[in-house]
Chain A
Amino acid sequence: MTQKYRLDKGGFIKRDKKISFKFNGKKYFGYEGDTLASALLANGVHLVGRSFKYHRPRGFIAAGVDEPNAKVQLYHGAKTEPNAVATEVELVEGLIAKSQNCFPSVSFDFGEINNFLSKFFPAGFYYKTFMWPKNFWYKIYEPIIRKAAGLGVAPLKPDPDRYEHKFEYCDVLVVGSGPSGLASALAAAKNGARVIIAEDKSRFGGSLLTDEVTVGNKKGKDWADETIEQLKIMPNVVVKNRSQVFGYYDHNMMVMFERTKDHLEFPNKYTPRQRLWYIRAKEVVASTGSMERPLVFGNNDRPGIMLSSAAKEYLRVYGVLVGKKPIIFTNNDSAYETAIDFKKNGINPIVIDIRENSESSVIKEAKNLKIDIRFSHAIANTRGHLRVNSATIGKLNEQKTNYQSLEDISCDCICVSGNWTPTVHLASQSGNKLKFDENINAFIPNQSRQNETTVGSAKGSFTLKKSLEEGFNKGFELSNKITKKNIKSAIPTSNERSNGKQNKFWCMPLPKNKNYKRCVDFQNDVYVSDIELAIREGFRSIEHVKRYTTLGMATDQGKTSNLNGLQLVSSIEKKIVPEVGHTTFRPPYTPVTIGAIVGREVGKYYRPTRKSPIHAWHEKNNAVFVDAGLWLRPRYYNQGNETLHEASKREAFNVRNNVGICDVTSLGKIDIKGSDSAEFLNRVYTNAWMKLPVGKARYGVMLREDGIVFDDGTTTRISENHFHMTTTTAQAVNVLAHLEYYLQVVWPELNVNVLSTTEQWAGAAVAGPNSRSLLEKLFPDTDVSNEGLPFMGFKEADLFGVPARIFRISFSGELAYEINVESGYGIFMWEKIMEIGKEMGIEPYGTEALSTLRIEMGHVAGSEIDGRTISSDLSLDGMLSKKKDFIGKRSLNRKAFIETGREKIVGVVPLDKKTMIPEGSHIVVDNKASLPNPKLGHISASCWSVEYNNPFSLAILKDGKQRIGEKLYALSPLKSKSIPVEIVSSHYVDPTGERVRS
């Protein structure tokens, strides 16, 4: 395959480095430095896709991010990427791409029938047609529309690539490396500012790459190259290409998307595929340039019709002719540069200019080159199915409402120019309310709300001279606010062609009795007739017109179409454009991969994992882990072929009969010190704390201010002004913040300090009838008898030379102790306990057995303290002090809290003593009642009672204990279960609490 449209010389590609790639299954060659788009055009391929709705054949329109049509699917399998823009994809050996939105192939597409049926698919078609019947939407309409209108296909496998996030700070962030961007960066950097300059493309220079200009007596491109080299060696400058600053967020937080890998044939193994930068910039210079707008005329969306600036870029940067019989169609002077470039490369263009005349240096140059120029002419229509092959042109009448005569001229491409739109998305996202500039017929930035400054053609300064001046001046001014060094750089002289006056006329009339489609939004397939229809149907707000017609939506966000759409609405409505307003410029400016947004926060890196210091022992001993917030806790320790149920039963049984050990390190621990500590606890907990003796623990319940139970735990008085609080694993973080709030904000007069010590202590619960004999051997020098260390007692002791704390507290309801040592001694403690406990039948138990033990004891946990229950619902009302005030007390007389009939805690046993009741089951009187069956309450937690060897559950039930003895039903529609149950006391085992005191 020869590259028939490639010039022998010119451009910045490397002709000695041939690259092979596949497009739609066919092999092609391009050169290093090509994009997929330039390589395809070099091979004469214009047809790249089908339009969104009508499946009309589509080709390249642009050469950069503004390309609305050439969305391709790259590679396949896990690496596949949908909606890649061919003009932005750099050519790399082995690249595989295919067209989207066509079946079975881009040149023969069944969906094209939509084009012939297009009168049945007007604007708002989906809204109008698929309204009814409702269930048809999900089953029939939606799947069909999805298939017909789908853009790319998302990969179904996990992304094999790695992505990174980076956080950066700088004084001045310069977005774009055209003349104004380079000038700003250079001026700011020389004035000592920390500068980041970001260029979306692989090449720096922006318009200097394609314009016939000189800067400082050098060719534009050479000046750009030298400036970049100069910036690169400055220590205070970061220079980034392939980096799109796609969003402007609050407080000058800029987000940049850097492509680091895909363009490399042999990437370094550790290079991430893409990198997302969060840049906090003191000042932002948006030198984002401008985009050419298409002209609108009959069948203006055929392959081969593109922006004249794109044709120039393909020629100048890539050495590619987009056609050999070009027509240039324009309303301004800039397109003449493209005509001149064609002519200088031996191609004879025809220029169709809607203006009566123009006098400027560029026109003179064109005339001297004997380029065929037809003033006062316009293109009315085009022909050519898969590629444009002729244009119908005519002389416009004076009012530009019709043509005086029409003639067909053959062509193989049409390069259009309908003036330039400043790229103002960053200014707009920063909160800058844009203003409409009548001279250039486009929106430009107005008053900055953040530290944002737009320069160059992005603010409508379309000459090189002005761009350089603005760049140097603003670069100095902004950097000097920060560095105050007053080092001013000289502005280099420049030379450029002069341009004459543009004409604002952009939407060509239809010849009499002709109904040609005139495309406004190429990506979303929106035509002049659609917008006219929307307005006829009463849509007035531009935001409504946008949504009804889909103008300016999707990945493109109206880059080429927005302004034409606004102009059309304003001309139909007979308003001026600023009255119509503009739609919102939403980030991201160009598509960003989900991978880059997620970064390294995938799989197990999604959030931190907290492990107890004893974790390695659990792993070695076949623990099966469960997530408890961020913590990994042993759920059970597997022996042989046991199920979870069997293992937890064995472990819990062993606690009730011998002794068990459980890792309780994850419990929240808060150290409380200060002379007002007891007073503080007295306000935080519902019960009394002032008289708790040193060396004693107490169980406490905290409420929120609205009276709902917040958390529970035991707190121990270590010394007069020193307490050790424990919280549940789940609420540890919130309890600490809660305490800090009251100490700092509400009662700053209290002399108390709180500090989380969760990670400083390793904790082991030792529970069961043999636990005391075990402790006697662990702490031979400490009196652990029932008198020496009674229930709720606390002692500091020596564990074979390691300082330990012993708390006689029990969650299991058995005689039990919790032993804490410094984290580093966790494994030592654990192994010592296992070693000495062996003869007493010690076995470790996990959270599942722990649950079993607490459920059958009727101890509440997170499934009962669920943000809806108050103390009396949980039989904790005995702990509400009548003598003092505390957080949340004033709420307890709320009507809903004192009414009878509240749902309160009870125990539930299935009548058959066999069927486990699913958690979440509803409790009802009649299991056959018609739906909705009135619900009396729900099952909050279920276990297999090892004490009675039958299932037991806790429930939150209307009227609570008053229903003890009643026979009701537990219904679980999810598990298709209806279980006859009896209501019993929630304290199923040892209701008087003898064991813990034994």
Chain B
Amino acid sequence: MLEIKCPYCGKRSQNEFSYGGDANIKRPELGKEISDSEWDNFVYFRKNPRGKHSELWHHVAGCRQWFKVSRDTSTHEIFKTSKLNEEL
């Protein structure tokens, strides 16, 4: 079980969190004309890297804040966590 440092609460065990996927995904702006493939990329396509990955986690059984985690997907090493408005 991973130990994740919530930027608001501190280190907590993984079972307090839920995973939210790639942190670099940007939702297209509302009302903006975009192509089908741009939209498909946003909704469906995700990279699945082996190694360093920026991702979102949600402290669901805690402060309920979303935040960013830089994690190695093969070793589970967590390099850094940060608030959404901070640089990861």
A residues neighboring B (CB under 8 Å): 249-253, 278, 280, 431, 449, 683, 705-706, 737, 740-741, 744-746, 748, 884-886, 890-891
Contact between B18 and A251, CB atoms less than 8 A apart: no
Interface residue from A253, A449, A740 paired with B66 (Cβ < 8 Å): A740
Contacts of A886 in B (CB 8 A): 30
24 A–B contacts, CB within 8 A, in A order: A250-B1, A250-B2, A250-B76, A251-B2, A253-B13, A278-B1, A431-B75, A449-B75, A683-B30, A705-B27, A705-B43, A737-B18, A737-B60, A740-B58, A740-B66, A741-B58, A741-B66, A744-B65, A745-B20, A885-B30, A886-B30, A890-B28, A891-B39, A891-B43
Partner of B39, one of A252, A748, A884, A890: A890
Decide yes or no: A741 and B20 within 8 Å by CB, A278-B1, A431-B75, A683-B30 being known contacts: yes
With contacts A740-B66, A885-B31, A890-B28 known, is A745 near B56, CB below 8 A? yes
Q: Give chain A residues whose Cβ lies under 8 Å from the Cβ of B66.
A: 740-741, 744-745
Which residue of B has the minimal Cβ distance to A705? B43
Residues of A within 8 A of B78 (CB): 251
Residue B46 at the A interface, CB < 8 A?
Answer: no
In the bound complex, how far is the Cα of B84 from the Cα of A744, in angstroms? 8
B42 interface residue, CB < 8 Å from A?
yes
Instruction: Find out whether the CB atom of B1 lies under 8 angstroms from the CB atom of A253.
Output: yes
A253 to B13, CA, bound (A): 9
Query: Would you call B37 an interface residue if the criterion is a C-beta within 8 Å of the partner chain's C-beta atoms?
Result: no
Shortest 10 CB-CB distances between A and B: which pairs? Answer: A251-B3, A885-B30, A885-B31, A744-B66, A250-B76, A253-B1, A746-B27, A890-B39, A745-B66, A705-B43
Distance between Cα atoms of A155 and B73 in the complex (Å): 40
CB distance from B34 to the nearest CB of A (A): 7
Q: Once the chains are docked, how many angstroms separate the CA of A251 from the CA of B34?
A: 42
Closest B residue to A249 by CB, please name it. B1
List 15 other contacts, CB 8 Å, given A683-B30, A744-B66.
Answer: A250-B3, A250-B76, A251-B3, A251-B76, A252-B3, A253-B1, A253-B13, A278-B1, A431-B75, A705-B42, A737-B60, A744-B65, A745-B20, A746-B27, A890-B39
**B48: Cβ under 8 A from any A Cβ:** no
- Residues of chain B within 8 A (CB-CB) of A449 are 75
Question: How far apart sit A449 and B78, CA to CA, in the bound complex (Å)?
Answer: 13
Cβ–Cβ < 8 Å partners of B30 in chain A: 683, 885-886
Give chain B residues whose Cβ lies under 8 Å from the Cβ of A745: 20, 56, 66, 84
- Nearest-Cβ distance from residue A168 to partner chain B, whole angstroms: 12
CB <8 Å contact, B64 and A740: yes
Smallest CB gap from A884: residue in B = B31
Option from A253, A741, A890 in Cβ contact (under 8 Å) with B34: A890
Nearest-Cβ distance from residue A198 to partner chain B, whole angstroms: 19
Chain A contacts of B84 at CB under 8 A?
A: 744-745, 748
* Distance in angstroms between the alpha carbons of A280 and B27 in the assembled complex: 37
Alpha-carbon gap, A418 to B30, bound state (A)? 72
0/1 string, B8-36, CB within 8 A of A gives 1: 00000100001010000001101100100
> Which residue, A449, A745, A885, A886, has most C-beta atoms of chain B within 10 A?
A745
Chain A residues within 8 Å of B65, by CB = 744
Find the residue from A249, A251, A748, A891 having the highest chain B CB count within 10 A: A251
For A280, the chain B residues whose CB sits under 8 A away are 3, 13
Give, as a whole number of angstroms, the nearest-CB distance from B39 to chain A: 5
Asked if B75 and A737 make an inter-chain contact with CB atoms under 8 angstroms apart, the answer reads no
Residues of B within 8 A of A885 (CB): 30-31
Q: How far is the CB of B43 from chain A (nearest CB, A)?
A: 5
C-alpha gap A249/B20 in the complex (Å)? 22
CB pair B58 A737 closer than 8 Å:
yes
Contacts of B1 in A (CB 8 A): 249-251, 253, 278
- State the CA gap A744–B2 with chains docked (Å): 24
Cβ-neighbour of A253 out of B3, B31, B56, B75 (below 8 A): B3
Q: Which residues on the A side are within 8 Å of B3 (C-beta)?
A: 250-253, 280
Give Cα A431–Cα B77 distance, bound, in whole angstroms.
11
CA distance A705 to B58 in the complex (A): 19
Contacting A at CB under 8 A, from B39-64, are: 39, 42-44, 56, 58, 60, 64
| Chain B residues with CB below 8 A from A705, complex form | 27, 42-43
Interchain nearest-CB distance for B61 vs A (Å)? 11
Cα distance A251–B78 when bound, in Å?
9
Q: In the complex, A249→B66 CA distance in Å?
A: 25
A252 to B1, alpha carbons, bound, how many Å?
Answer: 9
Q: Which A residues lie within 8 Å of B85 (CB)?
A: 748
Q: Which of B62-87 contact A (CB under 8 A)?
A: 64-66, 75-76, 78, 84-85
Q: How far is A886 from B42 in the complex, measured between Cα atoms in Å? A: 15
Within the complex, the shortest CB–CB distance from A194 to chain B, in Å, comes to 16
Tell me which residues across on chain B come within 8 A of A748, comparing CB atoms.
84-85
Cβ-closest chain B residue relative to A746 = B27
Q: How far is the CA of A733 from the CA of B84 in the complex (A)?
A: 22
CB contact between B43 and one of A250, A683, A706, A744 (< 8 Å): that residue = A706
In the bound complex, what is the Cα–Cα distance between A705 and B42 (angstroms)?
9
Q: Contacts of B39 on A, CB cut-off 8 Å?
A: 890-891
Residues in A neighbouring B2, C-beta threshold 8 A: 250-251
Q: Once the chains are docked, how many angstroms separate the CA of A431 from the CA of B28?
A: 40
B-chain residues with CB within 8 Å of residue A249 when the two chains form the complex? 1
A69 to B13 CA separation, bound complex (whole angstroms):
39
Nearest-CB residue, chain A, relative to B11:
A280
Distance of A735 from chain B, by nearest CB (Å): 13
Cβ distance B88 to chain A, nearest Cβ, rounded Å: 13
Contacts of A740 in B (CB 8 A): 58, 64, 66
Rounded to whole angstroms, the CA-CA distance of A919 and B77 in the bound complex is 48
CB distance from A923 to the nearest CB of B (A): 31
Within the complex, the shortest CB–CB distance from A750 to chain B, in Å, comes to 11
Distance (Å) between the CB of B76 and the closest chain A CB?
5
What distance in Å separates the Cβ of B29 from its nearest Cβ neighbour in chain A?
A: 9
In the bound complex, CA of A249 to CA of B15 (Å): 14
Least CB distance from B7 to A in Å reads 12
CB-nearest residue of chain A relative to B66? A744
A444–chain B nearest beta-carbon distance, Å: 21
A624 to chain B, nearest CB (A): 32
Instruction: Give bound CA distance, A725 to B78, whole Å.
Output: 37
